[in-house]
Structure 1
Amino acid sequence: MDSPTAPPAPQPDDKDWTWVLDVPCPDCGYDAAAVPAAEIGERIRAHVPTWTAALAAPDAAARPSPQVWSVLEYSCHVRDVHLIFGRRLAAMLTQDDPLFDNWDQDATAVAERYWTQDPITVSAALAAAAWDTADRFAAVGDGEWIRTGRRSNGSVFTVRTVGLYYLHDLVHHAHDIAS
């Protein structure tokens, strides 16, 4: 956290993770098919205590190895995931088939200096962003789950599948910090 220079960058994650919508994730066990759309909001909220507890640990800013993010860095990423998916959901509900802005998570980590951020501040911001986005998903009406949006690589999502995809990110990163 005190380092003014960026720590070594982890291997960039350039996988297209949309396959988790079709098959369970072998790493974290997430199974999108087992999640009813109406539960997405509550499941987002259920992850908040994992992150607030992890950020309260005295070693939250310590990397387990040089090229693996610390709990703090993962938490900054998860905070930003909540914000990004909140904006994507809002666009899907108010626009016809919006094209999502591209998001380079690795560039964001460096630009926002994740390793220098204050764990208490991150914890509060992560919780607020999670609750806000969870509330948005909880308010989705029956006929809105099929509204669409597109990622810059051409992947097409419905409100339901974007929620399930987003939820995988939370489950997977909770698994990452527990490993």
Structure 2
Amino acid sequence: MVVVREDERAERANRGVAVPPLADEDHVCPECGLSYAQLPAESAVDLIRRVPTAVRDAVAGIPAGAHRWRPGTGAWSVAEYVCHLRDVYAVYTIRLHRARTEDRPVLEPMLNDLRARRFRYNERDVHAVLDELDANTAGFCDEVARVGPDGWARTVTRLPGEERTARWLVRQALHEGQHHLGDIRRLAQAAADGAGPDPD
């Protein structure tokens, strides 16, 4: 998944490039291989429950001094990915609640790079954020449990012409977790290979 930092996004906006579209209902990620159409919502929730532990295990292999290291221009650090995942499960809890209780609510974009900059993701304590990720993931799963059998086809909208189902929200929430877990593991491997910041 390509992460575009705020200054790059602003430059693109000045050239008339819109917010990237949402993944399709039947999206297959070319990088991590997740296939939305083959993933029942119930299976997605079971996998989402495992995300915090998997992220914590991945972070455990990364020296604290490398938590804020960015491997290149426009790339995120471990701290930024963990903060992003924490926010994903908070935002998707609200999105799913709105899908469940409102008629075709219009969702605001997450504006990930703006969040990372304004809320200073790269200055956060990763271990404290991991605890928040635990809580937010549990809250999301609690909200999923409130979706009735007829609720999965309820829809939300975002950009003009974009309409996605409650089922898609759960699949997308899992994709965020699994995909960025892969990003964190790659950063862990880079740190192990000596590609991170020089030790103090």
Q: Which TM-score applies when normalising by structure 2?
A: 0.77
- How many residue pairs get aligned? The number is 171
Partner of 1:102: 109
CA contact (8 A) 2:45 2:174 kept: no
2:20 is matched with 15
2:42 to 20, 38, 49: 38
Contact 1:148 1:156 in 2 (8 A): yes
For structure 2, the residue ranges without an aligned partner over 5 or more in a row are 13-18, 187-200
Confirm whether residue 147 of structure 1 aligns to residue 154 of structure 2. Answer: yes
Match of 1:24 among 28, 36, 39: 28
Match of 2:120 in 1: 113
Shift of 1:91: 0.8
Moved more, 157-166 or 117-126: 157-166
Change in 2 beyond 3 A, CA 1:17/1:148: closer
* Alpha-carbon offset, residue 135 of structure 1: 2.1
Give aligned-pair identity as a percent: 32
Alpha-carbon shift at residue 66 of structure 1 (Å): 4.3
How far residue 176 of structure 1 moved from its aligned partner, in angstroms, is 1.7
Q: Which runs of 5+ in 1 are unaligned?
A: 1-7
How far apart, in 2, do the equivalents of 1:23 and 1:118 lie?
Answer: 34
TM-score, length of structure 1 as denominator length: 0.85
User: What's 2:92 paired with?
Assistant: 85
Task: Give every structure 1 segment of 4 or more consecutive aligned residues whose post-TM-superposition deviation is greater than 4 Å.
Answer: 10-14
Q: 1:151 to 1:158 in 2, by over 3 A?
A: same
Q: Secondary structure of 2:180's partner?
A: helix
- Hey, what does 1:126 align to over in structure 2? 133
- Residues 1:159 and 2:166 aligned together: yes
TM superposition shift of 1:16: 2.2
1:35 Cα deviation from its structure 2 partner: 0.9
Q: Aligned partners of 1:53, 1:153: CA distance in 2, in Å?
A: 40
User: Equivalent residue of 1:142, what SS?
Assistant: coil
CA shift in 2, pair 1:148/1:23, >3 Å: closer
SS of 1:144 mapped into structure 2 = coil
| Aligned match of 2:195 | none
Structure exhibiting the larger radius of gyration computed from Cα positions: 2
Deviation per CA, 1:107-156, whole angstroms, max 9, x where unpaired? Answer: 11100011000111111011110111022113322111111111134311
Structure 2 contact 152–165 (Cα < 8 Å) conserved: yes
